[in-house]
Chains A and B, each alone.
Chain A
Amino acid sequence: MKKIIALALTLVMIFALAVPVASADDAKEVKVGFIFLHDEQSTYDLNFMKAAQEACEKLGIEYVNKVGIPEGQECYEAAMDLVDEGCNIVFADSFGHEDYMIQAAMECPDVEFCHATGTRAHTENLANYHNAFASIYEGRYLAGIAAGLKVKEMIDNGDITADQAKIGYVGAFTYAEVISGYTSFFLGLRSVVPEATMEVTFTGSWYDLSLEAEGAQKLIDDGCVLISQHADSLGAPSTCEAAGIPNVSYNGSTIDAGPNTFIVSSRINWEPYFEYIIGQVQNGEAIDADWTGTIETGSVELTDVNAAVAAEGTVEAIEAAKAAFAAGELHVFDTAAFTVDGAALESYMADVDTDPAYEGDTEVVADGYFHESEFRSAPYFDIQIDGITLLDTAF
């Protein structure tokens, strides 16, 4: 009997709680569907999720998140499901989502499909498929200045000699986005310490805590005095903290993982882009096939500098370089600043249009600098410059 009463009570409780959920169909003009590769555990996806939430809440737009969508048929299914749910903008955040977004875009010409980090929008000729990226190489360069000042401080303090000024970089793949990232970081470093060199190791994964930690440890054991990374886990920052090696981070502050070693981090803020695409759809205007966010649009950001670790004058030096970028006086890939196989770079055919043979198709060196992210939003700087040693290129 007691059991029956208990059961009945439970049932009553459940039904009492069954308050009808208000259906939130307020007939908004724009509804955005977001597709994320992982959930909020990944710093990469978290960066997008926060921006999506901020942009949509600021503009009062209804939105739906789909998290943990792999780079396969599931992405296409998720995109089509969002369309079924009434979204008129669908956004995906991972490079490998691109083919599936294009497939969905072909089938739904009335819905705008936007994709971060992709490369094919400018050649697909689809009016409703768009790529976006940011001039994060400028952010990397600024972060490189902070690294350079730190290394310079070590030399000035007599901790290391000038020829020990070697830093390390943990990359994911030998992909243009990564190469552009570490090269711009290195050039920022060199603008302060011209004799500095860099070693790069690759993990073959965008997110692998233990591989990134191992990579950072390998570089530290190799004598690198400062580490930065282009990979999404806390592997490298934690390893640096344990070893007491300064770290320049990516995708957001990792000061919690490295209070005594974190210097600064560059990141892309996607909120301006989300506001842009929502605004264009609201106004019935076309979205650019390629959109490159910059420091001016607020897309390229640096976190607060950790004063406990950073060298003196870091904030001022970063601000000065920012102003120089804005004035058009400073270019990251200034051909006077680096050499390739001992010679200055005078011409380069970059692989801007995706094709199976990876052939260069566009001249990107002009006016004394390499024009990054101008012919398409995703980076295409994939040149091996002098001073950087790749420890392994398996990936």
Chain B
Amino acid sequence: MNNKAHNPLFHVSRRAALPWYRAWGIRAAALLIALLACALITNLITGLNPLAVYATIWQGSFGSARRAWVLFQNIAMLLCVSLAITPAFRMRCWNLGGDGQMLIGCLATTACMILLGGKLPNWVVILCMLVSSILAGAIWAAIPAIFKAKWNTNETLFTLMMNYVATQLVAYYIIIWEVPKGAGKIGIINQSTQAGWLPQIGSYKYLLNIIVVALVCVAMYVYLNYSKHGYEIAVVGESERTARYVGIKVERVIVRTMLLSGAVCGLAGMLLVGGTEHTLTTTITSGRGFTAVMVSWLAKFNPIWMVLTSFLLVFLERGAGQIATSFGLSSSYADILTGLILFFIIGSEFFINYQINFRHAAGKED
């Protein structure tokens, strides 16, 4: 025990839970160090004034009223997918298929807009869009869920592969619906008639989406924390055996939760296509299904915290684009900055959960 020759320079041990102010202190320090590191690197590589770069990042999100709206619209979309995958994550079921489930929702919405738009009253078209996109997303999640529940297949791989199937399906339908022929793109659907476009609240293009997602956010919080379903999800996530022991039908919970996950992803797809994009491309989701994993995880699967984490990620992304525009830097450079900041923020969680004991400190404890 007292053999100091084998005592390493430092060792890592798990911390007891930190009081909230210390945990947040560490996070704030991480952000500060991240900003300093970015400032140094920016100055060394590009010779630009880091403060001007930071001001530009801010400008990218809040430089004009329009940019602020775009920011909140993007937050809403990212948050919606993050909320969607969270119930599955709480159950320790790694649904990486958010992107595909959202995309298939986009496809269902587009199909309704193109095939039914102008032929049925607009509210019927929108109802069809809503129902079909939610169904499509749910089905896309249900397939891996049933396989997992029945045969214990790996949901991570299965949902991931379903993404590619969705992308190829969308590519196929784009060729069918392309305008003009041979162009390989659909363009704005029903640009002149606006058939199937979600209604606009006043002069605010994005407000409807933002309100819907805010409602989903609150509903998801209540569902996960105050409902019987939410409790079952938590128990299954902790231990499937315990869940079985207390009489929870685990297979049912898995399939039910994944259905919900996919359904909300489908809804996100509908909001995206019907609310703002009014088109379909294979990259329309912008990888949000994957970014959502980070949003959900950083927020420790808490829907309310996710508002903050999705804000952080979208804010950085919008800022990155603005840096590219204002300074003529490659947008990859801005991605490097974003990566650095995230590295520090994610790294700070390590210091919240663990502490480093140096040799002399350990000696004092003896």
Q: Which chain B positions have C-beta within 8 A of A175?
A: 180-184
Is B2 in the interface zone, CB < 8 Å from A? no
Interface residue from B180, B281, B325 paired with A70 (Cβ < 8 Å):
B281
**Which stretch from A73-81, A128-136, A368-376 is at the chain B interface?**
A73-81
On chain B, the number of residues with a Cβ less than 8 Å from chain A's Cβ atoms is: 37
Task: Type the 1/0 row for A1-23, where 1 means its CB is closer than 8 Å to any CB of B.
Answer: 00000000011011101110100
Check if B331 sits within 8 Å of A67, measured CB to CB: yes
Contact status of A21 and B180, CB under 8 A, knowing A70-B283, A103-B188 = no
A102 to B191, CA, bound (A): 10
Is A47 in the interface zone, CB < 8 Å from B? no
Interface size class of A (residues with CB under 8 A): 35 or more
Interface residue from B64, B67, B180, B325 paired with A354 (Cβ < 8 Å):
B180
Smallest CB gap from A19: residue in B: B49
Q: Which chain B positions have C-beta within 8 A of A11?
A: 36
Check if B180 sits within 8 Å of A119, measured CB to CB: yes
B residues 31-60 in Cβ contact with A at 8 Å: 36, 39-40, 43, 49-52
Task: Type the 1/0 row for B313-338, where 1 means its CB is closer than 8 Å to any CB of A.
Answer: 00000000100110010111000000
Check if A14 sits within 8 Å of B184, measured CB to CB: no
Check if A96 sits within 8 Å of B187, measured CB to CB: yes
Contact status of A72 and B182, CB under 8 A, knowing A65-B325, A65-B328 = no
Is A64 in the interface zone, CB < 8 Å from B? yes
Check if A176 sits within 8 Å of B182, measured CB to CB: yes
Check if B40 sits within 8 Å of A66, measured CB to CB: no
Smallest CB gap from B189: residue in A: A99
Check if B182 sits within 8 Å of A395, measured CB to CB: yes
Is B251 in the interface zone, CB < 8 Å from A? no
**Which stretch from B271-279, B287-295, B297-305, B341-349 is at the chain A interface?**
B271-279
Q: Which chain B positions have C-beta within 8 A of A382?
A: 182
Smallest CB gap from A73: residue in B: B277
Interface residue from A71, A102, A356 paired with B185 (Cβ < 8 Å):
A71
Smallest CB gap from B67: residue in A: A81
Check if A40 sits within 8 Å of B70, measured CB to CB: no
Most buried by A among B181, B184, B191: B184
A98 to B188, CA, bound (A): 9
Check if B64 sits within 8 Å of A81, measured CB to CB: yes
Interface residue from B180, B325, B332 paired with A351 (Cβ < 8 Å):
B180
Q: Which chain B positions have C-beta within 8 A of A306?
A: none
Check if A73 sits within 8 Å of B278, measured CB to CB: yes
Is B66 in the interface zone, CB < 8 Å from A? yes
Smallest CB gap from B36: residue in A: A10
Interface residue from B64, B66, B281, B331 paired with A71 (Cβ < 8 Å):
B281
A100 to B324, CA, bound (A): 22
Interface residue from B64, B181, B330 paired with A84 (Cβ < 8 Å):
B64
Q: Which chain A positions have C-beta within 8 A of B281?
A: 70-72
Q: Which chain B positions have C-beta within 8 A of A73?
A: 276-279
Is B284 in the interface zone, CB < 8 Å from A? yes
Q: A-B contact count, CB below 8 Å?
A: 101
Q: Nearest-CB distance from B64 to chain A (Å)?
A: 5
A residues 214-240 in Cβ contact with B at 8 Å: none
Is B179 in the interface zone, CB < 8 Å from A? yes
Q: Nearest-CB distance from A99 to chain B (Å)?
A: 4
Is B175 in the interface zone, CB < 8 Å from A? yes
A137 to B114, CA, bound (A): 35
Is A312 in the interface zone, CB < 8 Å from B? no
Task: Type the 1/0 row for A50-68, where 1 means its CB is closer than 8 Å to any CB of B.
Answer: 0000000000000011111
Task: Type the 1/0 row for A74-108, where 1 means its CB is closer than 8 Å to any CB of B.
Answer: 00010011001000000000011011101100000
Smallest CB gap from A202: residue in B: B182
Q: Nearest-CB distance from A38 to chain B (Å)?
A: 10
Is A363 in the interface zone, CB < 8 Å from B? no
Is A174 in the interface zone, CB < 8 Å from B? yes
Is A262 in the interface zone, CB < 8 Å from B? no
Check if A17 sits within 8 Å of B43, measured CB to CB: yes
Q: Nearest-CB distance from B266 to chain A (Å)?
A: 19
Check if A356 sits within 8 Å of B179, measured CB to CB: yes
Q: Nearest-CB distance from B321 to chain A (Å)?
A: 8
Is A169 in the interface zone, CB < 8 Å from B? no
A95 to B179, CA, bound (A): 11
Interface residue from A14, A174, A206 paired with B51 (Cβ < 8 Å):
A14
Smallest CB gap from A11: residue in B: B36
Check if B330 sits within 8 Å of A95, measured CB to CB: no
Contact status of A204 and B331, CB under 8 A, knowing A14-B39, A65-B325, A66-B325 = no
Check if B324 sits within 8 Å of A84, measured CB to CB: no
Check if B331 sits within 8 Å of A39, measured CB to CB: yes
B residues 155-211 in Cβ contact with A at 8 Å: 175, 179-185, 187-188, 191
Q: Which chain B positions have C-beta within 8 A of A351?
A: 180
Q: Which chain B positions have C-beta within 8 A of A119?
A: 180
Interface residue from A13, A40, A174 paired with B182 (Cβ < 8 Å):
A174
Most buried by B among A11, A64, A173: A173
18 A-B residue pairs with CB within 8 Å: A10-B36, A14-B39, A14-B51, A17-B49, A18-B51, A64-B325, A65-B328, A71-B281, A73-B278, A81-B64, A81-B66, A100-B188, A103-B188, A103-B191, A175-B183, A176-B182, A205-B184, A358-B181
Q: Which B residues form the contact surface with A (CB < 8 A)? A: 36, 39-40, 43, 49-52, 64, 66-67, 70, 175, 179-185, 187-188, 191, 276-279, 281, 283-284, 321, 324-325, 328, 330-332
Question: What 7 A-B pairs are tightest by C-beta distance, nearest first?
Answer: A175-B182, A99-B188, A99-B187, A174-B182, A96-B185, A73-B277, A18-B51
With A73-B276, A80-B66 known, 19 other A-B pairs at CB within 8 A are: A18-B49, A39-B330, A39-B332, A65-B328, A66-B321, A67-B324, A68-B331, A72-B284, A73-B279, A84-B66, A99-B187, A103-B191, A174-B182, A175-B182, A175-B183, A354-B179, A358-B181, A395-B175, A395-B184
